[in-house]
Amino acid sequence: MASIRPLGNRYRAFVKVDGRRATKVFDTKRAALAWAQEQEAQLAGTELPDKTLEEAFKRYSDEVTPGKRGGHWDRVRIARFIREDRIAKRRILSLSQNDMAEWRDARLKLVKPATVAREMNLISAVLEVARLEWRWLKESPMRDVKQPPKPKGRARRISPEEVEALAQAFDVWDTLKTDTQRHRVGLAFLFALETAMRSGEICELRWTDVHLDERYVTVRTSKNGDSRDVPLTARAVQILRALPLGFGPVFGLSASKRDGLFRKVRDGVPTIANLHFHDARAEAVWRLSKKLDILELARVIGHRNLSSLLIYYRATAAELAKKLA
């Protein structure tokens, strides 16, 4: 068992495995920890490999992300780490919690807290796999490193005027056209407003999971890993009936194509500002809350924790007062 103890302005590392001992004094706690981990492995007959964080990222990208939902975005983040972050070149065994905290603080000066939190989650996942499965380290340096405070959830409502303006920009307001990807992105946005489905769920929807006669669709894998059935409004059924039947995805869109086209068309509408595709989900939840009770609403949108509905459900006090009259 390894321990690190202060010794004046230095640190003494002490290791004991099966009655065998080793100790050494270092100028920094990081150096003491790295030596202790290596000595502990040597005394136990299982010496840790000398690997860098970059090597861990690459192996994780090759072996783990292909089987993960959202693995594409993990690979994008890993590529950025390797390309831009000097910490990726560091030896894993030399990294300490202080190093990771310093990296976090430096990163917060460049990007939003939510981005840093996602990146910290990815680093933690990589290091845990390296610890548990590859046996590259004894303890993760990301352990107990605090994440930045979570920002408040968006409270962006979408007005009827904005819905019409955006639908007209996609040329799907008067007629539900499906000829181009531009049309189908517009229909996907209108469909999200009716169902509260996420963008990825809409893009991955297959015709085998569409049940128009019974008026519901099945989401096979949602963000939390569960499947669920989503009831359809009359307008949602109308949108699906307008789309051509086929063997591929219902809307014929990839997530990246949907994202790029939505941004391009949205930015061309002068009356719309600060609108994200995901805001359609929040707007749909608010609308559905007028028709469904809290348990029904949680089931439709796929939330296990009812408190998480507060991110989306933001009725004003005036609106609630009307129910009390």
Where are the chain's structural domains?
1-47, 50-151, 160-324
Instruction: Quick: pLDDT tens for 285-305.
Output: 888 888 887 788 888 887 766
312 is known as an active-site residue: yes
281 is known as an active-site residue: yes
CATH code for 160-324?
A: 1.10.443.10
What kind of architecture, by CATH, is found in domain 50-151? Orthogonal Bundle (1.10)
Would you say residue 112 has pLDDT above 70?
yes
Catalytic residue from among 77, 104, 266, 281:
281
Catalytic residue from among 220, 223, 264, 290:
223
Distance, in Å, from the CA atom of 195 to the CA atom of 282, rounded to the nearest integer, reads: 10
Catalytic residue from among 80, 241, 278, 290:
278
Cα 254–Cα 256–Cα 257 angle in degrees, nearest 5: 65
Contact between residue 239 and residue 176 where contact means Cβ atoms under 8 Å apart: yes
Instruction: Quick: pLDDT tens for 169-188.
Output: 999 999 999 999 999 999 99
Catalytic residue from among 30, 198, 258, 266:
198
pLDDT of residue 290: 80
Q: How many CB atoms lie within 10 A of CB 161?
A: 10
Which residues partner with 21 through β-bridges? 16
Average pLDDT of every residue of the chain? 87
Taking residues 50-78, report their average pLDDT: 89
Nearest of 252, 245, 202 to residue 223 by alpha carbon: 202
pLDDT of residue 221: 73
Contacts 24+ apart (CB under 8 A), 58-66: 58/82, 59/130, 59/134, 60/125, 60/126, 60/129, 60/130, 64/125, 64/129
Residue appearing with tokens 């983040």: 77
Nearest of 76, 140, 145 to residue 108 by alpha carbon: 145
223 is known as an active-site residue: yes
State which amino acid sits at residue 210. V
pLDDT band at 167 (very low <50, low <70, confident <90, very high): very high
State which amino acid sits at residue 172. V
198 is known as an active-site residue: yes
Q: Higher-confidence residue: 292 or 119?
A: 119
Instruction: Quick: pLDDT tens for 78-100.
Output: 999 999 999 999 999 889 899 99
Catalytic residue from among 30, 104, 266, 303:
303
Residues with Cβ within 8 Å of residue 48, at least 6 apart in sequence: 37, 38, 41, 93, 135, 136, 137, 138
Question: Would the CATH topology of 50-151 be identical to that of 160-324?
Answer: no
